[in-house]
Structure 1
Amino acid sequence: MRIKTLISTTLAVLALAACSGGDTAGAPKGEPIAKVAAPAGTAWVDVVSKTELGGYKMGNPDAPLKLVEYGAITCPGCAQFSVQSSEQLHEIVNSGRVSLEFRPFLIHGIQDVPGFLLAQCSGPEAFFPLTDQLYAEQPTWLSKISTVTEADQQAMQKMSPGQIATLLGTKMGLIEFVKSRGISEDQAKACLSDKAAIDALIKTTERGTKDDGVTGTPFFILNGAKLDASSWNQVKTKLIEAGAR
């Protein structure tokens, strides 16, 4: 998925991204798993690291249940999952039984890029809070994609990926969004123009498509098994069946 392909989907219709059904064969089921205490003075939700596959992992690194979510920052279904799951999922992660790895997936191409670049702008520890806030306010900032004019689209054909991300980040109000959350305008623009970070997002998306069969978002994998689930209630049921109880 090269940048020209991503550009072609900039003004994708703001509809629910396809929710991919997964093969649940082999999805783990088991007896209740004992809680694992976090290091003294910490909570597992605060233990976050960047992964080798381009994701961000929250929770006990040695958790017996490893949940992976492929999500797109402009995907309404992903926003719904985030809003519905946040409190209970954090409780489950804090039990030490489950870790969550979120892998960015550019389901809507270039329009997903600015939000992800800014969500990771302050380092791994800020990724999940910023992503949750972006999802919570998604209808407001995503609706501003309509302010991208035909002239903008023509100009984008000659821009670098970083210039496109900066233009979209400005148009959608995302720079102002993160400025109110401790990221300066200069820092935001530096993150939006980071070619290596853009290439990494594309690579993670390509890998998700090729190796994990991701065709839509949100898309979940639990201990290597694809889940036929898209809502929090469905994912929670799978976690409980696997022993997160």
Structure 2
Amino acid sequence: MRGPVLPRRRAVLALAAALTGLAGLAAAAPASAADQTVPVAQLMAEPPLPDLWMGSKDAPVTMIEYASMTCTHCAAFHAESWPTLKSKYIDTGKVRFVLREFPLDPLATAGFMLGRCAGPDKRNAITDLLFDQQKNWAFVDKPVEALENTVKQAGITHDAFEACLKDQALYNKVNAERDAAGKEFHVDATPTFFINGVKHPGELSVGDLDKILEPLVKS
């Protein structure tokens, strides 16, 4: 679902009522979706938002994840598979990884905006926090209020929260990131991964990751 572009005079906060209940719309692509290969150079072309890479720039594997902050499958991947991916492959220099924004609703857009407003050094910590506590803010009666209370744990004040969600230019860039992925790479659900250019739609288990990555890091 794609939310409307907000007028400059109004914050995303003003859409709190409209956001209620939207978070549950995130979904994973069906497992039967055919893999697709995209040239790595095309994937690496400058996106609407600057990439915040993790891992060695010389890693043999480049891995891109398109996710939505309100996607339950994305949160499950983050909880169950991400720790192994990071420790076994990213921290050891085998995989270079980046998370790109693909919000499926306005609440997810707001979550990503807050990550970007926190700055490059804190963005991943914000997305980690929001995935870890997704059920506490994304699926509640007052999601915007719950979102603010959640990011307070990372030091984001009320004034900073409001200022961030009034940033029309950032709002447009986050959604442009999603739109570009849909148009150029045919991403239509989350999570979707590109591993050395090969598209892998849907949540990946630790076993899936090992099966895909081991031949690539040993080649």
Would you say same fold, with TM above 0.5?
Answer: yes
How far 1:199 sits from its partner (Å)? 0.5
Aligned-partner SS, 1:106: coil
How far 1:187 sits from its partner (Å)? 1.4
- 1:20–1:57 Cα change, 3 Å: farther
Amino acid at match of 1:130: I
- 1:181–1:236 Cα change, 3 Å: same
Structure 1 partner of 2:92:
95
Structure 2 partner of 1:3:
4
How far 1:25 sits from its partner (Å)? 6.5
How far 1:203 sits from its partner (Å)? 0.5
Q: Is the 8 A contact 2:60 2:217 kept in 1?
A: no
Structure 2 partner of 1:190:
163
C-alpha separation in 1, matches of 2:164 and 2:183: 27
Aligned-partner SS, 2:139: helix
**TM value normalised by structure 2:** 0.79
C-alpha separation in 1, matches of 2:148 and 2:85: 28
Tell whether 2:217 aligns with 1:243. yes
Structure 2 partner of 1:227:
200
Structure 2 partner of 1:119:
115
Q: Is the 8 A contact 2:190 2:201 kept in 1?
A: no
- 1:20–1:106 Cα change, 3 Å: farther
How far 1:62 sits from its partner (Å)? 2.6
Q: Is the 8 A contact 1:73 1:135 kept in 2?
A: yes
Structure 2 partner of 1:52:
46
How far 1:189 sits from its partner (Å)? 1.4
Amino acid at match of 2:144: G
- 1:83–1:71 Cα change, 3 Å: same
How far 1:26 sits from its partner (Å)? 6.1
Q: Is the 8 A contact 1:119 1:131 kept in 2?
A: yes
C-alpha separation in 1, matches of 2:76 and 2:3: 28
Q: Percent identity?
A: 27
Equivalent pairs counted in the alignment come to: 198
C-alpha separation in 2, matches of 1:244 and 1:117: 37
Q: Is the 8 A contact 1:59 1:99 kept in 2?
A: yes
C-alpha separation in 2, matches of 1:68 and 1:81: 14
C-alpha separation in 2, matches of 1:191 and 1:132: 18
Aligned-partner SS, 2:179: helix
Aligned-partner SS, 1:14: helix
Aligned-partner SS, 2:181: helix
Structure 2 partner of 1:156:
none
Tell whether 2:173 aligns with 1:200. yes
Q: Which has the larger radius of gyration?
A: 1
C-alpha separation in 2, matches of 1:23 and 1:244: 25
- 1:13–1:201 Cα change, 3 Å: closer
How far 1:15 sits from its partner (Å)? 5.3
Give the aligned CA root-mean-square deviation in angstroms.
Answer: 2.8
C-alpha separation in 2, matches of 1:224 and 1:139: 32
Which of 51, 60, 65 in structure 2 is aligned with 1:64? Answer: 60
Structure 2 partner of 1:129:
125
Tell whether 2:80 aligns with 1:84. yes
Q: Deviations over 1:99-155 (max 9, x none)?
A: 111111022x212111111122221121222211111111111122x34xxxxxxxx
Query: Structure 2: 5+ residue runs without aligned partners?
Result: 7-14, 39-44
C-alpha separation in 2, matches of 1:4 and 1:188: 18
Q: Is the 8 A contact 2:28 2:202 kept in 1?
A: no
Q: Is the 8 A contact 1:20 1:218 kept in 2?
A: no
Q: Is the 8 A contact 2:115 2:126 kept in 1?
A: yes
Aligned-partner SS, 1:68: strand
Aligned-partner SS, 2:98: strand
